[in-house]
Chain A
Amino acid sequence: MFSDGTAISLEGISKRYYLRSQRPTDLKTTVLHLPSFLWRDSNRKAFWALDDVSFTVQRGESIGIVGPNGSGKSTLLKIMADLARPTCGKINVNGRISALLELGAGFHPQITGRENAILNAVLLGLTRREAGQVLPDIIAFSELGDFIDEPMRTYSSGMYIRLGFSVAVHVHADVLLVDEVLAVGDAEFQQKCFDHIEKLRAKGVTIVLVSHDLGSVTRFCERAVLLHHGQVQVEGASQPVVHEYLSRIAAVLGHAVSS
């Protein structure tokens, strides 16, 4: 399975969404649009969030995905995490994936941090026994102390994030997908997160990082991909890719100023 050393391979991945306004939502419009709805008439307005994206990520590699808002970064992560299916194209992922798309998704405010941590770890793919084994590490990393046995509704948003991050990085993933979640928590905890991800990377965990913080992309990732309008614009070593992205932004801004 790991013989070719590829962690993720994407071949011609495209994702089409239909715009909500075009979808019949009430009875009258449904009836009026029934013919076109049934025959899949192409009148419906399609939006291609991803358009023929291909690249591979090697095992143990860190890759950054950059691009403006709406360029398809998060959709791409969702497809990698198998949360959404591509409209066409082929994706291959080797190993267990842990996706930090939103820290603490699935936490329930009425039960304690400890109960939430176990449930969340199991949702992320551990067995109950494994979850019990890593629980002390999760609690220690989150630094929540005695608060771990309080209901989560009493937590501050910082505490919420701490627990969410702690769970996500302790599920022994082979591939870690990180979407913009490092920009949370206080500076100290942020540094701790970075250090921990660095440690995971040293252990051979593959990391895909989506971020607008271009500094952390160049610091963390050997390679980067620049997405725009759902297409791969540039791919290569992170420094030149980020540089290219910045010069494009500069060009757009310069254009706006001159006109």
Chain B
Amino acid sequence: MLFLLTTRELKLKYQDTMLGFVWSVIKPLLLGLVLYVILSHVAKIQTDIPYQLVLLPALFPWSWFQTSALMATPAIANNGNLIKKVHFPRYVLPFATVANNMVHFLLTIPIIMIIVLVSGFRPNYTWLIGIPLLTLVELVLLLGTVLIVSAIDVYFRDLEHLLDVFLNLAFYMTPIIYPISALGRYRNVALINPMASLIEAWRNLFARNELPTPVDLWPCIVFAVAAVLIGSFVFGRLEKGFADVL
């Protein structure tokens, strides 16, 4: 069911467009290019590795998170008719959104690879272990998160707008356009943010061929597991009333 809903979403997204799936690659690339030009050549940020390797390996995994969270939040609330008329596991709706965006994210990995190669760096075997591992961690974190927010959004639709603002803020609080080392002694404060350690791990993998250690990733893993546990509980509680409220 999840597979069918996800492929439906994928088909729908670029239906009747000329470039179709190419858009999944072009859009994040253009966003990356804009940020790159402004931050590297206008604001002249100095980093130890070429700036494109700071930015892109962090930006694409972040986009997966942000877009999924934003799109999945109203996934239940906007499907009132389906919820009221057909009996099926409700969590598949937000999950399909996450899965759909995961496919888009995976399509951007070849771009990262090309940028890394063009910058004169060489990917090695660490990618084969690191990409599935970090994808899994981010997936679990996302599934837990969307369980919580999509269920609450049914009762409190302001959440969509609140989350929109919050995620824009989080974009700057997470080390995406700058490396975490730039924070100096505030580094440990920033690591409370579960996405900070994850994004840093993605960057170290793509730009430095470094695999994350459990120590690096623990804030994210703790959050991910907690989100899934809390999410299952909250969703299970709230879904009883979905059909009544919608």
* Contact indicator B11/A82 (Cβ below 8 Å): no
- Cβ of A97 and Cβ of B15 under 8 Å apart? no
Per the bound structure, the CA–CA distance linking A122 and B86 in Å amounts to 11
Provide the residues of chain A in CB contact with B244, threshold 8 Å: 17, 84
Q: Are A83 and B87 in contact (CB under 8 A)?
A: yes
Q: How far is the CB of B114 from chain A (nearest CB, A)?
A: 33
A44, CB-defined interface residue at 8 Å? no
In the assembled complex, the CB of A138 is this many whole angstroms from the nearest CB of chain B, namely 15
On whether the beta carbons of A105 and B1 are closer than 8 Å, the reply is no
Any A CB within 8 A of the CB of B122: no
A108-116, A202-210, A240-248 - interface stretch: A108-116
Q: Is the CB of A124 within 8 A of B12?
A: no
Name the distance in Å between A164's Cβ and chain B's nearest Cβ. 10
Q: Which residues of B contact A10 (CB under 8 A)?
A: none
Residues of A within 8 A of B41 (CB): none
**Cβ contacts under 8 Å, A118 to chain B:** 4
Interface residue A221 (Cβ < 8 Å from any Cβ of B): no
Residues of B close to A124: CB separation below 8 A: 86-88
Q: How many A-B residue pairs have CB under 8 A?
A: 60
Q: Is the CB of A84 within 8 A of B4?
A: no
Within 8 A of B (CB), among A120-168: 120, 122-125, 128
Q: How far is the CA of A120 from the CA of B84 in the complex (A)?
A: 14
Partner of B4, one of A83, A99, A122: A122
Pick the most buried of B5, B81, B86: most chain A CB atoms within 10 A of its CB: B86
In residues 66-92 of chain B, which contact A (Cβ within 8 Å)? Answer: 81-88
User: Which A residues lie within 8 Å of B15 (CB)?
Assistant: 110
Give a binary string over A72-98; 1 marks a CB under 8 Å from any B CB, 0 the rest. Answer: 000000100111110000000000010
CB neighbours (8 Å) of A105 from chain B are 81-82, 84-86
Q: Check: A106 CB closer than 8 A to any chain B CB.
A: yes
Tell me how far the C-beta of A167 lies from the nearest C-beta in chain B, rounded to whole angstroms.
11
For the residues of A in contact with B, the DSSP-based class is loop
Q: How far is the CA of A111 from the CA of B4 in the complex (A)?
A: 12
Please tell me which one of the listed residues A17, A81, A102, A128 contacts residue B87 in the complex, with CB atoms under 8 A apart. Answer: A81
Residue from A97, A110, A123 in contact with B1 in the complex, judged by beta carbons closer than 8 Å: A123
On whether A119 and B4 interact (CB within 8 A), knowing A84-B243, A85-B240, A110-B12, the answer reads yes
Inter-chain contact B8/A99, CB cutoff 8 Å? no
A101 CB within 8 Å of chain B: yes
- Smallest beta-carbon distance A124→chain B, Å: 7
Complex interface: chain B residues within 8 A of A82 (CB): 87
Q: How far is the CB of B128 from chain A (nearest CB, A)?
A: 30
How many chain A residues sit at the interface, stated as a range, is: 20 to 34
Contacts of B241 in A (CB 8 A): 85
Q: How far is the CA of A84 from the CA of B241 in the complex (A)?
A: 7
Complex Cα distance A111/B244, Å?
Answer: 29
Instruction: Find chain B residues with CB under 8 A from A97 CB.
Output: 87
Closest to A105 in B: B85
A108 to B8, CA, bound (A): 9
When A83-B243, A119-B4 are in contact, do A106 and B86 touch as well, CB less than 8 Å? Answer: yes
Q: By the criterion CB–CB under 8 Å, are A102 and B85 in contact?
A: yes
Say whether B85 contacts A115, CB under 8 Å: no
Contact A99 B87 (CB under 8 A): yes
Distance in Å: Cβ of B47 to nearest Cβ of chain A: 44
Interface 1/0s, chain B 1-26, versus A by CB < 8 A? 10111001001100100000000000
Chain A residue, CB-CB nearest to B79: A106
- In the bound complex, what is the Cα–Cα distance between A97 and B87 (angstroms)? 9
Most buried by B among A97, A122, A123: A123
Interchain residue pairs with CB less than 8 A apart (29)? A83-B83, A83-B84, A83-B86, A83-B87, A84-B244, A85-B241, A97-B87, A99-B85, A99-B87, A102-B81, A105-B81, A105-B84, A105-B85, A106-B82, A106-B86, A108-B8, A108-B12, A110-B12, A110-B15, A111-B8, A111-B12, A119-B4, A119-B5, A119-B8, A123-B1, A123-B82, A123-B86, A123-B88, A124-B87
